Amino acid sequence: MNYSPPSAPNEKAARTNLMLVGIAVGFLVFAALFTKNLWGRVEPRKEIPLVDKKFLETTPWRKTYADFVKAKDKDALEDYDCYGCHEKNKAPPIRYDKAGKILIPKEHSDIVMGHGSHDRNNLCFNCHNEQNLTTLQVRDGREVKFDNIPPLCGSCHGPTYRDWEAGAHGRISGSWNHANEADFTRLSCANCHNPHAPKIPTREPAPGPHLLRANPETHATEATH
Protein backbone atom coordinates (compact mmCIF):
# COMPACT_ATOMS: atom_id res chain seq x y z
CA MET A 1 0.00 0.00 0.00
CA ASN A 2 1.44 3.29 -1.16
CA TYR A 3 1.23 6.22 1.15
CA SER A 4 1.00 9.78 -0.22
CA PRO A 5 1.85 12.46 2.21
CA PRO A 6 -0.51 15.46 2.37
CA SER A 7 0.31 18.35 0.05
CA ALA A 8 2.39 20.98 1.56
CA PRO A 9 0.80 24.42 2.16
CA ASN A 10 3.13 25.95 -0.39
CA GLU A 11 1.87 23.63 -3.11
CA LYS A 12 -1.80 24.58 -2.46
CA ALA A 13 -0.97 28.25 -2.60
CA ALA A 14 0.83 27.74 -5.91
CA ARG A 15 -2.23 26.06 -7.44
CA THR A 16 -4.50 28.85 -6.23
CA ASN A 17 -2.22 31.50 -7.66
CA LEU A 18 -2.05 29.63 -10.98
CA MET A 19 -5.85 29.47 -11.15
CA LEU A 20 -6.19 33.20 -10.43
CA VAL A 21 -3.62 34.00 -13.08
CA GLY A 22 -5.56 31.89 -15.61
CA ILE A 23 -8.82 33.67 -14.80
CA ALA A 24 -7.16 37.07 -15.12
CA VAL A 25 -5.63 36.10 -18.46
CA GLY A 26 -9.05 34.89 -19.65
CA PHE A 27 -10.66 38.20 -18.77
CA LEU A 28 -7.88 40.08 -20.54
CA VAL A 29 -8.34 37.97 -23.67
CA PHE A 30 -12.12 38.60 -23.73
CA ALA A 31 -11.54 42.32 -23.10
CA ALA A 32 -9.14 42.45 -26.04
CA LEU A 33 -11.66 40.68 -28.28
CA PHE A 34 -14.40 43.13 -27.34
CA THR A 35 -12.02 46.06 -27.80
CA LYS A 36 -11.02 44.88 -31.26
CA ASN A 37 -14.68 44.31 -32.10
CA LEU A 38 -13.94 40.91 -33.62
CA TRP A 39 -17.63 39.88 -33.42
CA GLY A 40 -18.84 42.92 -35.36
CA ARG A 41 -20.78 45.93 -34.19
CA VAL A 42 -24.38 46.91 -34.81
CA GLU A 43 -24.65 49.90 -37.11
CA PRO A 44 -25.96 53.01 -35.39
CA ARG A 45 -29.64 53.65 -36.02
CA LYS A 46 -30.35 56.10 -38.76
CA GLU A 47 -32.01 59.32 -37.71
CA ILE A 48 -35.74 59.15 -38.38
CA PRO A 49 -36.84 62.28 -40.26
CA LEU A 50 -39.64 64.39 -38.82
CA VAL A 51 -43.05 64.31 -40.49
CA ASP A 52 -43.62 67.11 -42.99
CA LYS A 53 -45.59 69.86 -41.27
CA LYS A 54 -48.13 69.86 -44.08
CA PHE A 55 -49.48 66.56 -42.72
CA LEU A 56 -50.04 68.19 -39.32
CA GLU A 57 -51.97 71.14 -40.71
CA THR A 58 -55.53 71.25 -39.40
CA THR A 59 -56.72 74.38 -41.21
CA PRO A 60 -59.57 73.54 -43.62
CA TRP A 61 -58.51 73.83 -47.24
CA ARG A 62 -61.67 75.80 -48.06
CA LYS A 63 -63.43 78.70 -46.37
CA THR A 64 -67.18 79.08 -46.26
CA TYR A 65 -69.48 82.06 -46.09
CA ALA A 66 -69.74 81.54 -42.34
CA ASP A 67 -65.94 81.69 -42.05
CA PHE A 68 -65.87 85.01 -43.92
CA VAL A 69 -68.60 86.41 -41.69
CA LYS A 70 -66.76 85.32 -38.57
CA ALA A 71 -63.51 86.85 -39.86
CA LYS A 72 -65.35 90.01 -41.01
CA ASP A 73 -63.71 89.63 -44.42
CA LYS A 74 -65.56 92.31 -46.35
CA ASP A 75 -63.69 91.67 -49.61
CA ALA A 76 -64.66 88.00 -49.65
CA LEU A 77 -68.26 88.76 -48.63
CA GLU A 78 -68.65 91.01 -51.69
CA ASP A 79 -68.67 87.86 -53.82
CA TYR A 80 -71.92 86.86 -52.09
CA ASP A 81 -73.62 90.15 -52.91
CA CYS A 82 -75.58 88.67 -55.82
CA TYR A 83 -77.82 91.69 -56.22
CA GLY A 84 -74.84 93.87 -56.75
CA CYS A 85 -75.14 92.66 -60.36
CA HIS A 86 -78.42 90.74 -60.68
CA GLU A 87 -81.81 92.34 -60.73
CA LYS A 88 -84.06 91.65 -57.78
CA ASN A 89 -87.37 89.85 -58.26
CA LYS A 90 -86.14 88.47 -61.56
CA ALA A 91 -84.59 85.03 -61.92
CA PRO A 92 -81.26 85.15 -63.80
CA PRO A 93 -81.51 83.43 -67.19
CA ILE A 94 -79.67 80.15 -67.68
CA ARG A 95 -78.31 79.26 -71.11
CA TYR A 96 -77.25 75.89 -72.47
CA ASP A 97 -75.15 74.69 -75.37
CA LYS A 98 -76.36 72.32 -78.10
CA ALA A 99 -75.49 69.32 -75.93
CA GLY A 100 -77.71 70.62 -73.15
CA LYS A 101 -74.83 71.58 -70.87
CA ILE A 102 -75.07 74.78 -68.90
CA LEU A 103 -73.07 77.75 -70.15
CA ILE A 104 -71.29 79.56 -67.35
CA PRO A 105 -71.41 83.37 -67.79
CA LYS A 106 -68.04 85.04 -68.08
CA GLU A 107 -68.74 86.85 -64.79
CA HIS A 108 -68.61 83.43 -63.11
CA SER A 109 -65.81 81.94 -65.20
CA ASP A 110 -64.05 80.77 -62.05
CA ILE A 111 -66.83 78.25 -61.41
CA VAL A 112 -66.30 74.75 -62.76
CA MET A 113 -69.44 72.65 -62.77
CA GLY A 114 -68.86 69.02 -61.85
CA HIS A 115 -71.50 67.93 -59.34
CA GLY A 116 -71.79 64.21 -59.96
CA SER A 117 -70.79 61.89 -62.80
CA HIS A 118 -73.61 63.21 -65.03
CA ASP A 119 -74.86 66.65 -65.95
CA ARG A 120 -78.22 66.55 -64.18
CA ASN A 121 -76.86 68.30 -61.07
CA ASN A 122 -75.04 70.98 -63.04
CA LEU A 123 -77.91 73.42 -62.72
CA CYS A 124 -77.66 76.58 -60.62
CA PHE A 125 -81.23 76.46 -59.36
CA ASN A 126 -80.89 72.95 -57.97
CA CYS A 127 -79.36 74.69 -54.96
CA HIS A 128 -79.67 78.45 -55.45
CA ASN A 129 -83.03 80.09 -54.93
CA GLU A 130 -83.86 81.79 -58.22
CA GLN A 131 -86.44 84.00 -56.49
CA ASN A 132 -84.05 85.11 -53.74
CA LEU A 133 -80.36 84.82 -54.57
CA THR A 134 -79.37 85.59 -50.98
CA THR A 135 -80.61 82.12 -49.92
CA LEU A 136 -80.36 78.51 -51.01
CA GLN A 137 -83.31 76.19 -51.51
CA VAL A 138 -83.71 72.64 -50.27
CA ARG A 139 -85.50 70.08 -52.44
CA ASP A 140 -88.65 70.33 -50.32
CA GLY A 141 -88.82 74.08 -50.91
CA ARG A 142 -87.30 75.26 -47.63
CA GLU A 143 -84.89 78.17 -47.76
CA VAL A 144 -81.55 78.05 -45.96
CA LYS A 145 -78.92 80.72 -45.59
CA PHE A 146 -75.38 80.48 -46.94
CA ASP A 147 -74.01 79.98 -43.44
CA ASN A 148 -76.09 76.82 -42.96
CA ILE A 149 -75.61 74.64 -46.03
CA PRO A 150 -75.48 71.11 -44.48
CA PRO A 151 -79.30 70.75 -44.58
CA LEU A 152 -79.15 71.60 -48.28
CA CYS A 153 -76.51 68.95 -48.94
CA GLY A 154 -78.39 66.50 -46.76
CA SER A 155 -81.55 66.84 -48.85
CA CYS A 156 -79.79 64.72 -51.51
CA HIS A 157 -77.05 63.04 -49.49
CA GLY A 158 -79.13 61.71 -46.61
CA PRO A 159 -76.84 58.93 -45.27
CA THR A 160 -73.80 61.21 -45.44
CA TYR A 161 -75.69 63.99 -43.65
CA ARG A 162 -76.71 61.49 -40.95
CA ASP A 163 -73.07 60.47 -40.48
CA TRP A 164 -72.01 64.12 -40.43
CA GLU A 165 -74.48 64.92 -37.67
CA ALA A 166 -73.20 61.94 -35.65
CA GLY A 167 -69.57 62.97 -36.15
CA ALA A 168 -68.62 59.97 -38.32
CA HIS A 169 -68.20 62.10 -41.46
CA GLY A 170 -66.21 65.30 -41.68
CA ARG A 171 -64.17 66.60 -38.78
CA ILE A 172 -64.98 67.74 -35.28
CA SER A 173 -62.37 69.52 -33.18
CA GLY A 174 -62.47 70.05 -29.44
CA SER A 175 -64.55 68.25 -26.85
CA TRP A 176 -66.54 65.14 -27.72
CA ASN A 177 -69.21 66.32 -25.28
CA HIS A 178 -71.63 68.07 -27.61
CA ALA A 179 -73.87 69.29 -24.82
CA ASN A 180 -72.08 72.62 -25.01
CA GLU A 181 -71.53 73.73 -28.61
CA ALA A 182 -68.89 76.22 -27.45
CA ASP A 183 -66.56 73.31 -26.60
CA PHE A 184 -66.26 71.92 -30.11
CA THR A 185 -66.05 72.99 -33.74
CA ARG A 186 -67.66 71.06 -36.58
CA LEU A 187 -66.52 71.69 -40.15
CA SER A 188 -69.22 72.43 -42.68
CA CYS A 189 -69.62 70.49 -45.93
CA ALA A 190 -68.09 73.32 -47.97
CA ASN A 191 -64.97 73.37 -45.79
CA CYS A 192 -63.93 70.20 -47.61
CA HIS A 193 -66.15 70.02 -50.70
CA ASN A 194 -66.52 72.60 -53.43
CA PRO A 195 -70.31 72.81 -53.86
CA HIS A 196 -69.98 73.12 -57.64
CA ALA A 197 -67.50 70.23 -57.91
CA PRO A 198 -67.67 68.27 -54.62
CA LYS A 199 -65.12 65.59 -55.45
CA ILE A 200 -62.10 66.16 -53.20
CA PRO A 201 -58.87 66.47 -55.19
CA THR A 202 -56.37 63.65 -54.76
CA ARG A 203 -53.86 64.40 -52.04
CA GLU A 204 -50.57 62.83 -51.07
CA PRO A 205 -51.10 60.32 -48.26
CA ALA A 206 -49.32 60.85 -44.97
CA PRO A 207 -46.34 58.54 -44.34
CA GLY A 208 -46.85 55.39 -42.28
CA PRO A 209 -45.41 54.93 -38.78
CA HIS A 210 -41.68 54.21 -38.43
CA LEU A 211 -40.43 50.97 -36.90
CA LEU A 212 -38.29 51.04 -33.77
CA ARG A 213 -35.43 50.07 -36.04
CA ALA A 214 -35.15 52.30 -39.06
CA ASN A 215 -33.68 49.47 -41.16
CA PRO A 216 -35.69 46.22 -40.83
CA GLU A 217 -32.79 44.23 -42.35
CA THR A 218 -30.71 44.84 -39.22
CA HIS A 219 -33.48 43.62 -36.90
CA ALA A 220 -32.16 40.04 -36.73
CA THR A 221 -28.59 41.22 -36.24
CA GLU A 222 -29.55 43.52 -33.39
CA ALA A 223 -31.66 40.86 -31.76
CA THR A 224 -28.69 38.46 -31.56
CA HIS A 225 -26.57 41.00 -29.71
Residue 68 is inside which H or E element, if any?
Answer: helix 65-71
Output phi, psi for 177, to 5 deg: -85, 105
Q: How far apart are CA 119 and CA 204, in angstroms?
A: 29
Q: Averaged over 111-134, what is the pLDDT?
A: 87
Average pLDDT, the chain: 83
pLDDT digits over 73-93, tens only?
999 999 999 999 999 988 999
pLDDT at 47 over 60: yes
Confidence of residue 24 (pLDDT cuts 50, 70, 90): confident
Task: DSSP for 135-149, please give it.
Answer: EEE-TTS-EEETT--
Bigger pLDDT: 214 or 127? Answer: 127
Q: What is the pLDDT of residue 196?
A: 93
pTM of the full structure: 0.68
pLDDT at 21 over 60: yes
Q: What is the pLDDT of residue 74?
A: 93
pLDDT at 222 over 70: no
Q: How distant is the alpha carbon of residue 72 from its chain centre?
A: 28
Q: Averaged over 24-46, what is the pLDDT?
A: 74
Q: What is the pLDDT of residue 42?
A: 66
Bigger pLDDT: 38 or 184? Answer: 184
pLDDT digits over 158-194, tens only?
999 999 998 889 888 877 676 776 777 889 999 999 9
- Residues 102, 111 contacting (CB under 8 angstroms): no
| pLDDT above 90 as % of the chain | 35
Angle at 209 between CA 208 and CA 211, to 5 degrees: 130
Q: How far apart are CA 15 and CA 7, in angstroms?
A: 11
Q: What is the pLDDT of residue 173?
A: 82
| pLDDT above 70 as % of the chain | 84
Q: What is the pLDDT of residue 3?
A: 53
